[in-house]
Amino acid sequence: MQPERKQLCAAFNKLRKLFIHGIFIKFDQLWTLNLIEAAPSVETFDVEMFEHPCLEGDEERIRCFGAQRVEPSWKIPGFTSCQKWQLKEFQFGGFRPLLDHHLLFASTVMGRAPDLKTVLLTDGQYPCKGCEAMIPIPPPVGGFFPRDRDTQEAIVKQLREIGQSSAQIIFRGGSTHPSRATWSCIY
């Protein structure tokens, strides 16, 4: 996908929800903001990272997923809209605070969305059977999702300072996996 600028604005003009899933965990996410700029009426923005250690170095299996690892090259602020963002809810699945580009992305979204009410940070998808079968299971890229209160509070402070936002920030862990419980912490 290339930045079509004005064509995107016309096509996305009335879009209310934007979901972008399957972004490789090591890639920068700022390119996705070009889509929000093209669709300032989006109220819900959901981004989900993709991480499967079982696929590392296995280009054949990556192709089976129908994926290619090509990092988008759009730059910010190369494409800016003069319209105010209407974004009210931002969901970031696979958030890893030790990856600087994850903190930058989350704080940038928060800073550009004056009406933002809720930021939901989740640990993302749980490993597939191939990942679980790896011995030892490698740690996630960018460290583990923050589960303790002190770490979460430090991240909230960073996001609020950089993003200049008072949106409610929710950390949610767990999944629909039967052996794992779901929990939330709200700030």
Strands 183-186 and 168-173: antiparallel
89/86 Cα distance (integer angstroms): 9
Please report the pLDDT score of residue 53 as a whole number. Answer: 67
pTM value? 0.77
77/36 Cα distance (integer angstroms): 12
Residue 54 has pLDDT above 80, yes or no: no
68/148 Cα distance (integer angstroms): 35
Share of residues in the chain with pLDDT > 70 (%)? 67
33/122 Cα distance (integer angstroms): 19
Please report the pLDDT score of residue 36 as a whole number. Answer: 85
Tell me the pLDDT tens digit for each residue of 106-128: 999 999 999 999 999 998 765 67
Residue whose structure tokens are 């679980």: 132
pLDDT grade for 1, boundaries at 50, 70 and 90: very low
What are the extents of the domains in the chain? 17-66+83-172
Whether the CB-CB separation of 33 and 90 falls below 8 Å is answered with no
